[in-house]
Amino acid sequence: MSERGNGAVLRIITLVLAFALGVMAAILYNRVGEKTRGVKVRYEDWAKLNIVLDEISRKYVDTVDYAAVTDAAVSAAMSALDPHSVYIPPVQLEASEEDLAGNFDGIGIQFNVPNDTAIVLEVIPGGPAEKVGLQTGDRILKVDDKVIAGVSFPQDDMVKLMKGPAGTKVRILVLRAGEQIPFDITRGRIPIRSVDASFMIDSETGYLRLTRFSRNTVTEFRKATASLSTAGMKRLIFDLRDNSGGYFDQAILLCEEFLPKDAEIVYLEGLHHPRENYTSSGKGSLKDMDLVVLINENSASSSEIFAGAIQDNDRGRLVGRRTYGKGLVQEPVYFTDGSGIRLTVARFYTPSGRCIQKPYSDDYAYDIYKRYASGEVFSRDSLHVDTTDVHKTLLGRTVYGGGGIVPDVFVPVDTTKATKFFIQCNKKATQMRFASRMFDRNRAEILKIKDFKGMDAFFASHPVLPAFRSFASSTDGIVAAEDEFRETAPYLEPQLKALVARYSQLGEDAFYKYYLPVDDVVEAALKEF
């Protein structure tokens, strides 16, 4: 919404509140100060609100924008409940629903903007963009008549230009190998992946990263783990870091892949919602698979249900940092104008009885910032645990409530590796722009690579460290002394390889495969096996 739009809504809310006070004053006293009979209302019902709205409708000095006043009133009412009970306008509701549903209408590409130009990172197989010939590495210059390259153009606005109803057309002008090429694309239905990456770390260890719980999550997960099992997987590192949650039923089905029959998964309960228990059917295919689950402060909702069930049943080890702490059952209510509300009706509890939801506070929205400020993410000693809220796992291990899921193995955020040179490069996104340049100069060779063996051979013949050092100096004026560069190299090199390899056909699998060697949480997970 624009600033002007926000101002209008604020004025409307102010008028509503001011008028509400005026109405109540008018009810109590007439114009000449003669005392009148007050209208009796109770806060247990909605009489006061109805009176105010009725008075506005009958007496307000100007024409009333009923839609704006209604939206303002609903938003204000929802904000008085809890931080997650919200009113969602039509446009926002559509965006949130399509993200959870696991698909959207568009052209089917993923892109990044390392400088001021969008670069295609992936062309989704079978999507409209692939069908007309868009390729990884293409620079997007224009969308229809709108120039988006070489100007300050927000990435979210780029997405809005390319998305649109299936069946509609859009023209994309790209720059490829120095030549401008137009593509007329008919938008279609594009699937959103839940599984971001899945590959073998070594001969026995599979790695799978799940970014959301959408309608397609379990189907994708089963397909990925079947492929890993065929490749020899005997143990799995399941990465739920930064997974913000999603559909509840998908979390239950995912738990069933690992838990034996009749194992408790989660229960939910609320004032108007009697206790409802969920247990495993025992039909999962990974009940005997060694398992380590990775979590962090951005793992929320359904990912916390999964983590809590695995921990309380002693089915696997949790490694990382305390999860977000969002354990609320949200019931959607939809309106015919395309808007809706999400109303909290119950809370989630792990099998041992821990409430996943963290306590509400005045600065609830800034909880993650508080964790960094207090040092919780840097040291387990700074982790606040409610020692009065004690629970036991299936095998008798002690776990604590208080909100979120505390891992079995804590791994802090490591700031010791960040040299001055590395920080300066991060500020200017030098690594990303270097990867883009390296791809441009080796486009044909990189696009032919189909496996990690081929990618390793490419890096053997194209060392990234000396090339990057030269690029940082000549392009951004960032120079590292010999000792500093030597200190930076061990964790800079995997990052550079990951960013370059992402342009190959291996996509996100390559990114995580090359980045994991400097991932302290993965290193700790491997030790747990």
Residues in the chain: 529
Provide the 3-class DSSP secondary structure of residue 250: helix
389 included as an active-site residue: no
Which of 214, 302, 303, 326 is the catalytic position? 326
φ, ψ of residue 270 to 5 degrees: the values are -155, 175
What burial class does residue 399 get, using C-beta atoms within 10 Å of its C-beta: 0-12 exposed, 13-18 middle, 19+ buried?
buried
- What token pair was written down for 470? 């030269």
85 included as an active-site residue: no
Amino acid identity, residue 279? T
Which of 301, 303, 339, 436 is the catalytic position? 301
Beta-carbon contacts of 491 under 8 Å, excluding residues fewer than 6 positions away, are: 417, 422, 518
Query: Which of 331, 338, 332, 304 lies closest to 318, judged by CA?
Result: 304
Helix axes 47-59, 3-28, angle to 10 degrees: 100
Q: Are 301 and 250 in contact (CB under 8 A)?
A: no
Query: Which of 312, 323, 258, 252 lies closest to 285, judged by CA?
Result: 258
Cα(92)–Cα(243) distance, integer angstroms: 20
Q: What is the DSSP string of 133-188?
A: T--TT-EEEEETTEE-SSS---HHHHHHHH---TT-EEEEEEEETTEEEEEEEE-E
- What token pair was written down for 146? 């709108």
- What token pair was written down for 449? 């690579």
What burial class does residue 45 get, using C-beta atoms within 10 Å of its C-beta: 0-12 exposed, 13-18 middle, 19+ buried?
exposed
Cα(348)–Cα(113) distance, integer angstroms: 39
Provide the 3-class DSSP secondary structure of residue 88: strand
Q: Are 269 and 346 in contact (CB under 8 A)?
A: yes
301 included as an active-site residue: yes
Which of 138, 312, 367, 408 is the catalytic position? 312
- What token pair was written down for 526? 């491997």
Cα(294)–Cα(241) distance, integer angstroms: 6
Give all strands (DSSP E) within 240-312, no chain letters: 264-270, 273-279, 290-295
- What token pair was written down for 150? 């070489």
- What token pair was written down for 51? 């009176």
Cα(419)–Cα(488) distance, integer angstroms: 6
Cα(219)–Cα(375) distance, integer angstroms: 39
Catalytic site positions: 301, 312, 326
